[in-house]
Amino acid sequence: MNRYYLEPYGPMPRPSTSPCVQMGKLGAVVGLCGAGAANLRRLRQAELSRTEAVVDTLRTGVASGLATASAALVAGQLRSPVLSLLATLATGTAVMYVLSAEATIGEKA
């Protein structure tokens, strides 16, 4: 069958994703890579098990993705480059602080 027979008006356009979602994906990849490298080193030194390494890596990746997306959302609201940078740093730090505090509370319980 011809592709245009199924789609008479041409190929369907891909849905666009917002810049915050794209930044969140990038932040998650960076967080996963950084945490994965650190946890691999800790795993080789027998400081934690494989399960702990995987869970910590995933937790850090999700947290960094959320922090990056929220920081991008806040930064996009400001026109001044200096204020935008400061808001990005403050928002990302605050989100990572809250999410890492939740993770430590869960580990102690």
For the chain, the structural domain boundaries read 19-108
pTM over 0.85: no
In a structure prediction context, what are the per-residue pLDDT tens digits for the chain, which is 109 residues long?
Answer: 455 555 556 666 666 678 889 999 999 999 999 999 999 999 999 999 999 999 999 999 999 999 999 999 999 898 999 999 999 999 999 999 998 876 666 565 5
Three state DSSP letters for 32-82? HHHHHHHHHHHHHCCCCCHHHHHHHHHHHHHHHHHHHHHHHHHHCCCCCHH
d(CA 45, CA 11): 52
pLDDT at 100: 85
